[in-house]
């Protein structure tokens, strides 16, 4: 297999791929609301939400292909069978779901209690969504192959503009006609074009794929790996958003808003550790398949990279989060959400460690460990979040989320240590880093005066980097100079 390029470029490309659509959305959404009106925009957001829900139909095949290709199973003709069999399975399932969605569109539209004319548009929008499903749901199958070859630049060169056009396109179309059929029709065209471009890149990257073939025996390995990732994909949204529903039931809907805004800030900042974890996944797979067992070193460097980049954000949220909330959302949000931000920042760091550990387990071909951890967390998290919300309201929800992400990280690191003995020390290191961050966040939050709090946050960040010997060279050592799995750089990164 061709040697992967430096991982640093992959993280940079992933961050840019996340930042560009987010910036476009920030600019475009007010214009889209003005052009479509509140009710049409509401229907469009429901279309987007429905599309996200149907993502489970991917069956984890994209991640399974990344693991197989990066692990060296793509050197012979078996790769073509894996790829085309997986793609056919996902597209067939998505086409069936899309047909069902198209047939159910009139009933879905009537259930939204819309005016008759807008109900027709909503039905058309859901029909168009049904038509688009095979291309949207199978897109990760294509990107999974490219990511296995460290072509993160190419993936984001396709995915980021497509995501940006999901906001810009409707603004343009709505300026001509606000009819949702035309708006969603343009979105369908954008998705199909992105899919076609990505398939072309796959065929150019791996010429073996140019000879399509289906293998009966390929479905089993893909579904065994992908099935466990699908379990995690189904459980994870519940773990992330359960606290909001508990707050709404036990406190008030206003409390959901006071908590939802700080949590959304935290989740968006989580893109940093997601970018690191997704780049490390194929590196872990390649390292696991090779005779050189370097997963432990990669895990340490990945955790250090998360600590280097996320600790300043965690300390900043504790020190200035309340003041930022006051200036941005008002005094009520600052009073209710300031403490939540300080607690959530620690959870953000621990969540990053969990993402790196899960990448190791996926790369080692053990997605079952990740799914088992998530199922256990679900059982324990329900009573925990109910108790803490009942006791402390919004800060209690933040504490429950942070305890859950901390437990997730420690469970996954323990599983990683059982799978890869070289990874055993990472568990204690993560616990010490988390304890340091919690102490630093407490000091940065409770000190009087913004100047003192910011100064303490900066000092705590620098002390943390020094104590754990994390510095700028960490990024270069992370394979962010040369991959630990394969030393020579590739062409794209």
* 262-274 pLDDT per residue, tens: 998 898 899 899 9
Same domain, 188 and 256: no
Going by pLDDT thresholds of 50, 70 and 90, the confidence category of residue 488 is: very low
pLDDT tens for each residue of 24-48: 887 887 888 888 887 888 888 788 8
Q: Are residues 190 and 232 in the same domain?
A: no
Same domain, 269 and 238: yes
Query: What CA–CA distance (Å, rounded) separates 272 from 264?
Result: 14
| Most confident among 56-60, 111-115, 145-149, 186-190 (mean pLDDT) | 186-190
- Quick check: 337 and 261 in contact, CB under 8 A? yes
208/331 same-domain check: no
Considering the domain architecture, whether residues 191 and 266 belong to the same structural domain is answered as no
Whether 233 maps to a domain, the answer reads yes
Q: Compute the distance between CA of residue 342 and CA of residue 440 in angstroms, rounded to an integer.
A: 10
Shared domain for 334 and 194, answered yes or no, is no
Q: Which residue has the tokens 């997963």?
A: 295
Tell me the whole-structure pTM to 2 decimals: 0.82
Full residue range of the structural domain in which residue 148 is found: 7-214
Residues 164, 240 within the same domain: no
Asked if 489 and 12 count as a contact pair (C-beta separation under 8 A), the reply is no
Computed over every residue of the chain, the mean pLDDT equals 87
Contact 134, 91 (CB under 8 A): yes
47-60: pLDDT as tens digits: 887 787 788 788 88
Same domain membership, residue 381 and residue 341? yes
How many separate domains does the chain show? 2
The span from the CA of 18 to the CA of 480, in Å, is 19
- Could you give the CA distance from residue 140 to residue 55 in angstroms, rounded to a whole number? 9
Q: Are residues 252 and 326 in the same domain?
A: yes
């Amino acid at each position: 297999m061709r040697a992967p390029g430096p991982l640093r470029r992959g993280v940079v490309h992933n961050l840019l791929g996340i930042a560009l659509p987010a910036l476009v959305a920030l600019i475009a959404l007010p214009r889209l609301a003005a052009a479509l009106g509140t009710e049409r925009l509401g229907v469009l957001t429901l279309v987007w939400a429905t599309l996200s829900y149907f993502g489970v139909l991917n069956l984890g095949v994209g991640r399974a292909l990344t693991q197989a290709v990066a692990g060296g199973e793509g050197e012979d003709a078996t790769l073509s069978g894996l790829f085309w069999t997986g793609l056919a399975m996902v597209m067939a399932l998505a086409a069936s779901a899309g047909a069902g969605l198209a047939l159910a569109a009139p009933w879905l539209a009537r259930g939204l209690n819309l005016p008759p004319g807008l109900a027709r548009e909503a039905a058309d929008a859901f029909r168009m969504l049904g038509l688009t499903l095979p291309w949207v749901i199978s897109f990760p199958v294509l990107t999974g192959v490219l990511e296995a070859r460290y072509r993160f630049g190419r993936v984001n060169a396709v995915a980021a503009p497509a995501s940006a056009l999901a906001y810009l396109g409707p603004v343009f179309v709505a300026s001509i006609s606000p009819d949702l059929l035309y708006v969603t029709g343009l979105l369908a065209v954008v998705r199909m074009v992105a899919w076609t471009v990505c398939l072309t890149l796959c065929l150019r990257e791996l010429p073996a794929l140019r000879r399509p073939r289906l293998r009966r025996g390929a479905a089993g390995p893909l579904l065994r790996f992908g099935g466990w990732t699908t379990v995690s994909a189904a459980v994870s949204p519940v773990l992330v958003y359960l606290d909001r529903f508990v707050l709404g039931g036990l406190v008030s809907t206003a409390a959901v808003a006071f908590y939802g805004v700080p949590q959304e800030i935290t989740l968006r900042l989580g893109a940093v550790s997601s970018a690191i974890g997704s780049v490390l996944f194929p590196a872990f797979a390649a390292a696991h398949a090779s005779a050189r067992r370097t997963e432990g070193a990669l895990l340490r460097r990945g955790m250090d990279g998360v600590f280097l980049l996320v600790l300043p954000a965690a300390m900043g949220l504790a020190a200035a989060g309340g003041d930022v909330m006051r200036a941005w959302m008002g005094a009520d949000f600052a009073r209710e959400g300031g403490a939540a931000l300080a607690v959530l920042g620690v959870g953000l760091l621990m969540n990053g460690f969990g993402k790196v550990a899960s990448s190791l387990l996926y790369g080692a071909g053990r997605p079952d460990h990740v799914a088992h951890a998530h199922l256990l967390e679900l059982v324990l998290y329900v009573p925990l979040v109910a108790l803490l919300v009942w006791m402390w309201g919004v800060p209690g929800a933040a504490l429950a989320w942070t305890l859950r992400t901390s437990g997730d990280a420690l469970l996954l690191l323990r599983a990683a240590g059982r799978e890869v003995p070289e990874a055993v020390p990472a568990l204690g290191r993560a616990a010490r880093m988390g304890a340091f961050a919690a102490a630093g966040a407490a000091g940065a939050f409770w000190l009087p005066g913004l100047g003192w709090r910011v100064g303490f946050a900066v000092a705590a960040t620098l002390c943390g980097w020094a104590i754990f010997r994390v510095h700028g060279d960490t990024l270069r050592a992370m394979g962010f100079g040369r991959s630990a799995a394969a030393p020579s750089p590739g062409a794209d990164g």
